Amino acid sequence: MNKPKIVVLGAGYGGLMTVTRLQKALGQDEANIVLVNRHDYHYETTWLHEASAGTLHHDRVRYDVDSVINRSKVEFVRAEVEDIKPAEKKVVLSTGEVEYDYLVIALGGESETFGIPGLKEHAFTISNVNAARQIREHIDYQFATYATETEKDENRLRIVVGGAGFTGIEFLGELVNRVPILCREYDIDYSKVRIYCVEAAPTVLPGFDPELVQYAVAQLEKKGVEFKIGTPIKEATTEGIKVDKGDGELEEIKAGTVIWAAGVRGSSLIEKSGIENMRARVKVDADLRAPGHDNVFVIGDCSLVINEEINRPYPPTAQISMQQGEVCARNIVKLIRGDQGTLETFKPDIKGTVCSLGDNDAIGVVYGKKLTGTKASFMKKMIDNRALLMIGGPGLVLKKGKFNFI
Ligand code: NAD
């Protein structure tokens, strides 16, 4: 009898969780497991803001896919996914076509620019390892150039962060620790540096606990961040950004570096696939399958799961992706073993949310308890280490974990 073929697209949190659980649960004679990813490494998306600011080396935020998969059970294909064809049960890769019996789409998210002109051309996004390296090097270059040029261009020392969501705030937390080091390195007066956080909503971290938000804003302001709240970015240019002043008039904020951290969407491959979606995210059935596609699971940032209590989608987080990966793997095992009737319903178990503010400060709500400062920062590192533990075991935690708890 032919073994069923499970193809998992993406080696992010969701994809790797699925594969590591499948390789444990299934015998070699039960299924062929294929994992496809564009790089031969996984990166911790939730640590990219550190690599972008230059407070953590980019190699610390990634590890080889090979170090967590069992090659005797999993075939790894390093390739770009170009097309998903559910009607033909196949996926087109840059290296050729792959057919599947079960497909797991775990391709992660993409930056959402809402059609704002100039952003794609003139702003950076904290989206992958190389983009993070580019941001770090760009800021470094701006400071180095300012230090050596005779006619000083102060815009080189101006950094705009667009969006005060978790990504924007976590990046700012790292940036305010990194910039004083850069200033010392390049003999630049820190008072000449301007760091703006521009947010469209009337508050920083919209929807988060107001007391914790106030703490975060105060900590970042103390270190030099200037918040421009209720100020939507309308355009990005070679000179900086243009914002809506509130009266419909545009105001220019000049900056040599613009980081766009104002939203994510699912993968554009979802939109091309013909699977029903909303902004490239699939509102999955309770068992994580795409509606109308019995053999296609969608997890992570490409999926949409509604929190019935507030009738809004759960946020696309690593925590949820990993939990989905576990349920998805168990459901595929059931399908393969002919247990169709008892597929598990996915229900997120939100243990908490922590937003870092640099290496030794953070805010968070964990098991319903509010935390700030080093306690919150400790929790954040434990969360980071837990993700490594869940996917790669204690060995990976020892290799890549965060242990600087002071
Ligand atoms: P987000 O959508 O959560 O935040 C984007 C922010 O940008 C919002 O506050 C929005 O009002 C603002 N914005 C949108 N358009 C704008 C404009 N034109 N001008 C200025 N501001 C604008 O995006 P994110 O921060 O990248 O987070 C994405 C998801 O990942 C979220 O669900 C978040 O909860 C999650 N996340 C979690 C953590 C964590 O738990 N520590 C860290 C990072 C991201």
253-260 average pLDDT score: 98
Q: Give the number of the atom of ligand 1 that is nearest the alpha carbon of residue 353.
A: 40
Question: For residue range 67-93, what is the model confidence (pLDDT) as tens digits?
Answer: 999 999 999 999 999 999 999 999 999
Output the CA 51–ligand 1 centroid distance in Å: 18
> Which of 120, 128, 166, 379 to probe ligand 1 with, by most ligand atoms within 8 A of CB?
166
Asked, for residue 388, whether it belongs to a domain, the answer is no
Question: For residue range 285-296, what is the model confidence (pLDDT) as tens digits?
Answer: 999 999 999 999
Asked, for residue 311, whether it belongs to a domain, the answer is yes
Output the CA 125–ligand 1 centroid distance in Å: 12
Q: What is the CATH number of the domain that holds 91?
A: 3.50.50.100
Q: Give the number of the atom of ligand 1 that is nearest the alpha carbon of residue 354.
A: 41
Sign of CA dihedral 202, 315, 46, 91: negative
Residues with CB under 6 A from ligand 1: 46, 116, 162-168, 170, 198-201, 206, 232-233, 261-264, 315-317, 353-355
Q: What separation, in Å, do the N-terminal and C-terminal C-alpha atoms of the chain show?
A: 57
Residue 180 is predicted with a pLDDT of: 97
Do 123 and 258 sit in the same domain of this protein? yes
Q: Is the pLDDT of residue 343 over 90?
A: yes
Asked, for residue 61, whether it belongs to a domain, the answer is no
Q: Is the pLDDT of residue 405 over 80?
A: no
Let me know how long the chain is. Answer: 406
Strand pairing report for 158-162 and 194-198: parallel
Question: How many C-beta atoms surround the C-beta of residue 47 within 10 A?
Answer: 25
Residues acting as catalytic residues: 170
Whole-angstrom distance, CA of residue 237 vs CA of residue 254 = 9
Q: Work out the pLDDT band at 263, boundaries 50, 70, 90.
A: confident
Question: For residue range 34-69, what is the model confidence (pLDDT) as tens digits?
Answer: 999 999 999 999 999 999 999 999 999 999 999 999
Do 258 and 285 sit in the same domain of this protein? no
Do 249 and 124 sit in the same domain of this protein? yes
Q: Give the number of the atom of ligand 1 that is nearest the alpha carbon of residue 49.
A: 43
**Which residue's alpha carbon is at the smallest distance from atom 36 of ligand 1?**
166
222-229 average pLDDT score: 97
Q: Work out the pLDDT band at 406, boundaries 50, 70, 90.
A: low
- Backbone φ and ψ of 97, nearest 5°: -105, 150
Q: Of 305, 334, 350, which one is at a domain's C-terminal end?
A: 350
Q: Work out the pLDDT band at 315, boundaries 50, 70, 90.
A: very high
Do 241 and 300 sit in the same domain of this protein? no
Residue 348 is predicted with a pLDDT of: 96
Output the CA 261–ligand 1 centroid distance in Å: 6
Whole-angstrom distance, CA of residue 45 vs CA of residue 375 = 23
Q: Give the number of the atom of ligand 1 that is nearest the alpha carbon of residue 163.
A: 7
Output the CA 129–ligand 1 centroid distance in Å: 19
Do 142 and 161 sit in the same domain of this protein? yes
Asked, for residue 371, whether it belongs to a domain, the answer is no
Do 257 and 124 sit in the same domain of this protein? yes
Looking at the structure of the chain, the number of domains it has is: 2
| Domain housing 301 | 5-38+79-111+265-350
Asked, for residue 74, whether it belongs to a domain, the answer is no
Q: What integer best gives the mean pLDDT of the chain? A: 96
Do 127 and 257 sit in the same domain of this protein? yes
Helix then strand then coil, in percent of the chain rounded to 5, is 40, 25, 35
Q: State the chain's maximal CA–CA distance in angstroms.
A: 75
Asked, for residue 13, whether it belongs to a domain, the answer is yes
What b-and-e string marks burial along 362-382, b requiring 16 or more CB atoms within 10 Å of the CB?
bbbbbeeeebbeeebbbbbbe
Residue type, 203: T
Q: Residue ranges of the alpha helices (H) in 149-231?
A: 166-185, 210-222
Using CB atoms within 10 Å of the CB of residue 27, give its burial: 0 to 12 exposed, 13 to 18 middle, 19+ buried: exposed
> Which of 209, 264, 279 to probe ligand 1 with, by most ligand atoms within 8 A of CB?
264
Q: Of 243, 263, 283, which one is at a domain's C-terminal end?
A: 263
> Which of 199, 366, 379, 386 to probe ligand 1 with, by most ligand atoms within 8 A of CB?
199
Output the CA 207–ligand 1 centroid distance in Å: 11
Question: For residue range 174-223, what is the model confidence (pLDDT) as tens digits?
Answer: 999 999 999 999 999 999 999 999 999 999 999 999 999 999 999 999 99
Residue type, 92: V
Sign of CA dihedral 241, 245, 250, 251: negative
Q: Which residues share a beta bridge with 241?
A: 236, 253
DSSP label of 281: B
Output the CA 113–ligand 1 centroid distance in Å: 12
Residue 1 is predicted with a pLDDT of: 64
Contacts of 253 (CB under 8 A, 6+ apart): 158, 160, 196, 198, 228, 240, 241, 242, 243
Asked if 298 contacts 276 with a C-beta cutoff of 8 angstroms, the reply is no
Q: Of 324, 350, 376, which one is at a domain's C-terminal end?
A: 350
